[in-house]
Chains A and B, each alone.
Chain A
């Protein structure tokens, strides 16, 4: 079933472009924090770049905790034998 057609994402250079794009957008969003009034409900919300930093940390934490959970929870695919 394999085809030899080259797709846009098959080129590593294009994947790099996407990654650079994400980094640029993130930097832009951090910079944007200087230019508007946050009218934060909680003081922590008003911290510089709070949502970006919180998002990054939480995302990594979820994945890494999940990875550890596998050690406890993961069984064979046919564990329940159905």
Chain B
């Protein structure tokens, strides 16, 4: 390629600079246009395209195009467009700029060919995205945003440390296979793991995403965690420990999703669970598994955005996403209810919906490599997805007991964004060939076999049957307004309590030491006052005569001593 090439995310990042000065109508058109230009530009890129330059003696590569990066490039720019369209009714320049810079840095990060470029855009995703949380402009969102920022920036700092060690070890800054054998590899692995919401590092996700604006969460759900999945696929494909980390991620958030009342938080747990499938694929590391991860990331970004959009629309219209306050909304929001159900069927992997054609690749790869325990966990988790995302989300928001709420249907732009996304979810499910064509490795995978379709339908329909039985027998737990403790309890409750407790102890000790010191100082002052103060022995004013008599006395003592000696 001889033409001038640059990192495609820069279109959104630099494009955002104009947003604050444009009047509303122009701004709306402009916001929609930028992701389209970005998408079109990425379509024109070919594997092998690079842009490199030297910076302070280091070879940087802000653009490195290959098939893995392209999958993410396509879906990220698509998600940016859908996210912007979903939010276009509002007039909030902060969110507009934040969303563009965030999406742009996500896109640039996946095209980064060296670790320094990766680090720069990695941190930029953190800084730009926090404004989508703060834009809710509540005390709770402010605090959640600060926690989010600390953890995200922390991931960047660990990444930077890892990069420095890596450069010292290898002399290279290229972002390729890293592996967890070295210290540098471990540090970078942890940095990626934080952003990917590994178990025990996961809680920033469920803490912050539900606090963002109705439109902000849609944007947030697409980029950060999938960027981490991409980075793991690039640096740690075939790292076996990822299989077990991923399997854990698919399983444990399910239980939290079951008991959570805030439906956007349920979706955040569900997001975590979906990431687990992708991480397992990376751990297996075979071409089929990595293709499965890429395909699943692609499908997941769309159906997860669709689900967050539907809950965003509900929040926009009713002011809440608490299951205990919702129900029966299908009566006045039938389109939103339909789109939500399509998202729910996609994530649950019903045949003819997008999740089916991508998740089955990962499951087949796990089974094919003989990981039967992992496979059993993944099937277990699939039934769990059906519970919290397939049934719980649409059921408690739009059906269940009638809350009496009759909100207006979502604004037209929201419906349009949901409609396009829902169409894509079904189109990919019905005709997966174009998706398979863009995957990193040649695909020889047939999703629609009789066995696949029947067994998957059995799993899902018997889950529905189980749900009906549990509801009818009254065993299904009632939705209650509540907070459920998760790992964030450690740093939101235990740690502050401990610090406050030890703070008090320090204060007491400090006070004790200070009072002792003060006592000593005052004693010293008293003593010096007695000796040197007004009328003090050493401060008495003496006449010349008395001075002479002192001198004579001293001489007399000297003489006596002299003679004795």
Contacts and interface: CB of A to CB of B under 8 A. Distances in A.
B255 A42 contact: no
Interface residues of B, number: 56
Give 3 closest A-B pairs by Cβ, nearest first.
Answer: A66-B258, A59-B466, A52-B458
B466 A1 contact: no
Secondary structure dominating the interface of A? helix
Secondary structure dominating the interface of B? helix
A20 to B, nearest CB: 10
Nearest to A39: B451
B458 A22 contact: no
A76 B85 CA distance: 37
B461 interface: yes
18 contacts: A10-B402, A19-B468, A22-B468, A38-B451, A41-B367, A42-B367, A51-B458, A54-B383, A55-B461, A59-B387, A62-B384, A63-B466, A66-B258, A73-B486, A74-B483, A75-B483, A80-B492, A82-B143
Interface residues of A, number: 53
B484 A75 contact: yes
Given A66-B477, A70-B477, 10 more contacts: A5-B331, A25-B461, A26-B458, A54-B383, A55-B462, A56-B463, A60-B466, A69-B255, A72-B485, A77-B482
B475 interface: yes
B538 interface: no
A29 to B, nearest CB: 5
B414 interface: no
B454 A29 contact: yes
Contact of A22 (B464, B482, B486, B492): B464
A32 B483 contact: no
A13 interface: no
Nearest to B454: A32
Contacts of A45: 455
A54 B254 CA distance: 16
Interface in B478-535: 480-486, 492-493
Contacts of B140: 82
B465 interface: yes
B476 interface: yes
B361 to A, nearest CB: 14
